Structure 1
Amino acid sequence: MAKRLRSSELCADCSAQDPCWASINRGILICDECCSVHRSLGRHISQVRHLKHTPWPPTLLQMVETLYNNGANSIWEHSLLDPASVMSGRRKANPQDKVHPNKAEFIRAKYQMLAFVHRLPCREDDSVTAKDLSKQLHSSVRTGNLETCLRLLSLGAQANFFHPEKGNTPLHVAAKAGQTLQAELLAVYGADPGTQDSNGKTPVDYARQGGHHELAERLVEIQYELTDRLAFYLCGRKPEHKNGQHFVIPQMADRRLLDLSELAKAAKKKLQSLSNHLFEELAMDVYDEVDRRETDAVWLATQNHSTLVTETTVVPFLPVNPEYSSTRNQGRQKLARFNAHEFATLVIDILSDAKRRQQGNPVSGSKENVELILKSISNQHSSESQDNDQPDYDSVASDEDTDLETNAAKSNRQKSLDSDLSDGPVTAQEYMQVKNALVASEVKIQQLMKVNINLSDELRVMQKKASKLEKQSSVSESDYDNPTAPLELEETGSGRKGRQRSIIWQGEGSIPEDTDTAPSSSLPSTEDVIRKTEQITKNIQELLRAAQENKHDSYIPCSERIHVAVTEMAALFPKKPKSELVRTSLRLLTSSAYRLQSECKKTLPVETCPTTDIQLVTQQVIQCAYDIAKAAKQLVTITTKENNN
């Protein structure tokens, strides 16, 4: 890792001291509170990484340091440096400002709207402007002036611009000149190390030819960054690119940890039949989801005890990227529904197929297999899709907002099944729909776990869901209070694999409700709930530190302390709360604590567990801890609102 940043740094957005996060593509450092807003914007706006608790390629950290120290923040706050801005009342946020709305509005204006960047004079032909900027970038990357290149990129210069006269891209120029930090910056903005110039050479070739061997090795790593990140997420290992090994395909020692249902096999076949373009889109979406999950884990491990009752929060699913279609955005958000085992299966499938595609190995008879499998599962798919069609996530701007779409909606739904059996290519979204059938039972729970960044907005959403749930109380009760679920897990035979996902969240550790007891609307004091929440959070932090330090023998005692704290918190509430929101949050809290204990027990004895097994268990442990924290925060929010009314 490169040298640690100086201790005198300030947050680029609010000037708070000692920022511990970086926004890689913006070249800045930010504090916890501002980072929570950056994360909610999405990686297409800001790519955040913790300075201490996330592994860094040394030259990437050095690139961020250099940009920060050379005033990259002035690019994003150009007009605020004008004295006229002070006169007009425009100012940046300060550490004392509230996250919402003050800091959030400023950060969105600064990075999403680019409200303060230097504007070029308006020209009729924007493409000419972009071409001119890209040519300037092409010339600038041979020097060490990173800020100039970031400014050009912020104005619209293209990192993959192919110079018609020179016959190469900016990355070719940077590699030939040995400009490692310029290469890092270009790669962050999408430059492809595998692009060939007019002579058929790649940037890697030029780096080696110029004797810049470390840069050449780093460019190879960048070329395989997506698959390397997916492999490291599962098994903690990366391939040895120096030795010609470019892929690591994790092999689960216990095959039962993999999703081997017929729907999973069908999904894998559909994955193999995707075009290269659609496969790349899906792989990039899964990469973003891995980043979200890993950053959430770091977030939980680094927050203080009162974080759950502040305005900062985790990001429950991938934010909307307006450059993507509404269907792709919805598919990306549904990735958050996968539990650790299901997500691991998807990641392994992607890694395996990425290797197959690079080696040029064909899939024999894949189209026929897909059609046969789709015919066999179409009835189940169509029935379960009724639950998946609910607008559970962020509103997504449609790319077909026309009257024709409204009038033809019914016929399009009818055609959707026919398109699965057509001769056309299988889309990434169709693959996601088949895969989502595996986790249909988690949908309703995940609906209730949506967390908006603005707490007042969150309360309004929860109140709307409350009225909806009350109308469907009989359905909700049967879904979440199945007292036979644990027995079914033990007693079912060959059907166990197929039914495990539909019952694993039901009944386990949930609060038994006495049907003879009248519903109670009384709630505990906010102070008591906050005190118990802080106790839970403290224990969760201890568990996550153990996970980070690979102290697997600490999992069980940590989980037991969490279970005790959860039980004490649940005891504060009446046996049968009148509020459906309270009941649902309590069920999530206690069932997650139950599952956490079960997962932690899998670490014994440690010496008999392969590394890949432990890694997968650790991911599940982190997910359980995450769910407990969210449920506790929901209960604090509800009691605070109700007690203040």
Structure 2
Amino acid sequence: MASFADPCWASINRGILICDECCSVHRSLGRHISQVRHLKHTPWPPTLLQMVETLYNNGANSIWEHSLLDPASVMSGRRKASPQDKVHPNKAEFIRAKYQMLAFVHRLPCREDDSVTAKDLSKQLHSSVRTGNLETCLRLLSLGAQANFFHPEKGNTPLHVAAKAGQTLQAELLAVYGADPGTQDSNGKTPVDYARQGGHHELAERLVEIQYELTDRLAFYLCGRKPEHKNGQHFVIPQMADRRLSLDVSELAKAAKKKLQSLSNHLFEELAMDVYDEVDRRETDAVWLATQNHSTLVTETTVVPFLPVNPEYSSTRNQGRQKLARFNAHEFATLVIDILSDAKRRQQGNSLTGSKENVELILKSISNQHSSESQDNDQPDYDSVASDEDIDLETNAAKSNRQKSLDSDLSDGPVTAQEYMQVKNALVASEVKIQQLMKVNINLSDELRIMQKKASKLEKQSSVSESDYDNPTTPVELEEPGSGRKGRQRSVVWQGEGSIPEDTDSAPSTSLPSTEDVIRKTEQITKNIQELLRAAQENKHDSYIPCSERIHVAVTEMAALFPKKPKSELVRTSLRLLTSSAYRLQSECRKALPAEPSPAPDIQLVTQQVIQCAYDIAKAAKQLVTITTKENNN
């Protein structure tokens, strides 16, 4: 929104300037939606600030409000929020619709092959970046053009073109949307090479800075210094202020660091990106609290106690990202330093051999190193060199207690670094995309094919009303991460479903169904989930309910294979997740159908929750396959 005289903040990837009120909402959306930075109290690369100001002055806001500028929108009752409206809910709902749902951007005519449309847009972007028309490129990016698109005929990316043409602001915009300055063209040259060849030396230096932005930001956060890239220095590794603590490295800490080093580059990059986002959240929070001066804007609804949910990531990764907020100053500094050290090693090509498995030990020692210390963990434990803006690290640390109190219901007890890495470990065997998470363990594929050929109809199992897993009596509260007051809301619309009651009439059973039966039911669940995902991708929302019903039937049949009171707690936990998620799925799918006179449902939000439930079902089924396979082979 642009109805203000003195904006204090900018949304970098949206190309707009915003006031304090709107910033309070933008911050809660997450960096994947809006990358917020203060105009005065945060260091800015000059050309990045120039890029944002150029977009703002040339009407970038109209990109995000395209349909609202149509006179027909007045007739339809749609309007933008006014300065007199309340922040919550009026302005907040409008901002989410505008930037998160992209409800008002120009829509291209629907085509059967969306990939062709994206390719066409990317080719237009490839041509446009040689000019100075930033808003045209932002419009293309908003429609789905890819900043890293590799042109098959030209043999290069848009960033190569912008660098060769000396278009610094275009390069900044592309980098904001993920363009990689280190990408090589068909001749093996990078955008940095083309900038230097064209005599655009300042652009070349800036591209090198962008290439090291992640590690530069982490180092600056700890010690207020950045490497001298001009002199070939690309890394600054801060040291802990208390030498006794930094030298007192236990065997556990050494083992943790070795496990970190053995992570694949992909998993290491994910962890580093998550820590980068947490650094951004902590720094922005510090500026926010300092500049608001305890005004009425500093309330429960404007505090961002942990990283907001990114729907592009799996639920396990989102949970791990949120737990980073629980790290105190020393724990987080240790994590950052370890990442910086290993990033330098990897960049220099020093390889290590080792397994990617059992990475939960990576940072286990962080929370344990100082358990016997009496020092105040809210004070900085590392060397602090004042930055140009002199953002006090103590301010950031002081708000830690407030964050912890607001987030007190995140778990029953303190969240350790080990728990976070256990979450990261779940990603070793799966990919970010939901569809890939649905696949059954590849090691069982041969058995699945055999079972599919000789599958026979199972005897009818207990009905829904007879199953302990489908008719529990204890209500379960399930987390919906990242939204609502204090960043946490609980949904109990399926009260009474999902938990396993104690059966006092029977003893715990150690028997488990055959691996073949569990595999066969898992395959059926997976097929039904894939059908649901296809419906989501094709916007066939009326198919949600029948799909969820078929999934529920398959889940009921799978749960009925197991004893009513399994002795294994792991089996009980997996069954609870399986059945409660199936109930949640049915509840969420029912929300997709409009019910008069209720307002139309938020389909994008509903779909996000549907996919999350489907993932939880697939994960629980996969766990049960793994458990039964292991137990039956013993």
Asked whether the two chains share a fold, i.e. TM above 0.5, the reply is yes
Aligned counterparts of 1:306 and 1:490: Cα–Cα separation in 2: 30
CA distance 1:320–1:217, shift in 2 (3 Å): same
Q: Tell me by how many angstroms 1:155 deviates.
A: 0.2
Contact 1:176 1:207 in 2 (8 A): yes
- The 3-state SS of whatever aligns with 1:438 is coil
Contact 1:180 1:215 in 2 (8 A): yes
Q: Identify the structure with bigger relative contact order (alpha carbons < 8 Å, sequence gap 6+).
A: 1
Q: Tell me by how many angstroms 1:90 deviates.
A: 1.2
- The 3-state SS of whatever aligns with 1:252 is coil
Q: Which residue of 2 aligns with 1:156?
A: 144
CA offsets 1:78-124 (integer angstroms, 9 cap, x no match): 01111111222211112221111101100010011110000000101
CA distance 1:644–1:461, shift in 2 (3 Å): same
- The 3-state SS of whatever aligns with 1:348 is helix
| Structure 1, gaps ≥5 residues long | 1-13
Aligned counterparts of 1:605 and 1:124: Cα–Cα separation in 2: 26
Higher helix share: 1
Q: Tell me by how many angstroms 1:294 deviates.
A: 0.2
CA distance 1:493–1:559, shift in 2 (3 Å): closer
CA distance 1:191–1:545, shift in 2 (3 Å): closer
CA distance 1:490–1:446, shift in 2 (3 Å): closer
CA distance 1:480–1:276, shift in 2 (3 Å): same
Contact 1:333 1:393 in 2 (8 A): no
TM-score by length of 2: 0.58
Q: Tell me by how many angstroms 1:153 deviates.
A: 0.2
Aligned counterparts of 1:475 and 1:255: Cα–Cα separation in 2: 62
Aligned counterparts of 2:532 and 2:114: Cα–Cα separation in 1: 53
Aligned counterparts of 1:639 and 1:305: Cα–Cα separation in 2: 56
Does 597-606 or 626-635 show the bigger shift?
597-606
> What fraction of aligned residue pairs are identical, expressed as a percent?
96
CA distance 1:610–1:154, shift in 2 (3 Å): closer
Are residue 464 (structure 1) and residue 453 (structure 2) matched? yes
CA distance 1:260–1:246, shift in 2 (3 Å): same
Does 193-202 or 252-261 show the bigger shift?
252-261
CA offsets 1:166-213 (integer angstroms, 9 cap, x no match): 000000000000000000000000000000000000000000000000
Contact 1:141 1:173 in 2 (8 A): yes
Q: Tell me by how many angstroms 1:243 deviates.
A: 0.4
Does 471-480 or 606-615 show the bigger shift?
606-615
CA offsets 1:268-304 (integer angstroms, 9 cap, x no match): 2221111001100100000000000000000011003
Q: Tell me by how many angstroms 1:402 deviates.
A: 47
Does 595-604 or 309-318 show the bigger shift?
595-604
How many residues in Structure 1 have an aligned counterpart in Structure 2? 632
Does 520-529 or 356-365 show the bigger shift?
520-529
Contact 1:328 1:429 in 2 (8 A): no
Q: Tell me by how many angstroms 1:521 deviates.
A: 49
Q: Tell me by how many angstroms 1:625 deviates.
A: 41
CA offsets 1:16-69 (integer angstroms, 9 cap, x no match): 331100000000011111111111110000000000000000000000000000
Aligned counterparts of 2:78 and 2:125: Cα–Cα separation in 1: 31
Aligned residues: CA RMSD: 22.2
Aligned counterparts of 2:356 and 2:582: Cα–Cα separation in 1: 44
TM-score by length of 1: 0.57
Aligned counterparts of 1:563 and 1:214: Cα–Cα separation in 2: 60
Aligned counterparts of 1:538 and 1:125: Cα–Cα separation in 2: 23
Contact 2:319 2:423 in 1 (8 A): no
CA offsets 1:365-392 (integer angstroms, 9 cap, x no match): 6779979999999999999999999999
CA distance 1:27–1:637, shift in 2 (3 Å): farther
Contact 1:278 1:427 in 2 (8 A): no
Aligned counterparts of 2:294 and 2:88: Cα–Cα separation in 1: 20
- The 3-state SS of whatever aligns with 1:49 is strand
CA offsets 1:599-630 (integer angstroms, 9 cap, x no match): 99999999999999999999999999999999
Contact 1:479 1:506 in 2 (8 A): no
- The 3-state SS of whatever aligns with 2:17 is strand
CA distance 1:116–1:267, shift in 2 (3 Å): same
- The 3-state SS of whatever aligns with 1:500 is strand
2:156 to 155, 158, 168: 168
CA offsets 1:125-171 (integer angstroms, 9 cap, x no match): 10000000000000000000000000000000000000000000000
CA distance 1:590–1:410, shift in 2 (3 Å): same
CA distance 1:151–1:551, shift in 2 (3 Å): closer
Aligned counterparts of 1:589 and 1:145: Cα–Cα separation in 2: 52
Contact 2:166 2:203 in 1 (8 A): yes
Q: Tell me by how many angstroms 1:253 deviates.
A: 3.7
- The 3-state SS of whatever aligns with 1:381 is coil
Does 224-233 or 575-584 show the bigger shift?
575-584
Q: Tell me by how many angstroms 1:251 deviates.
A: 1.5
- The 3-state SS of whatever aligns with 1:385 is coil
| Structure 2, gaps ≥5 residues long | none
Q: Tell me by how many angstroms 1:360 deviates.
A: 1.2
Aligned counterparts of 1:396 and 1:113: Cα–Cα separation in 2: 41
Q: Tell me by how many angstroms 1:267 deviates.
A: 2.9
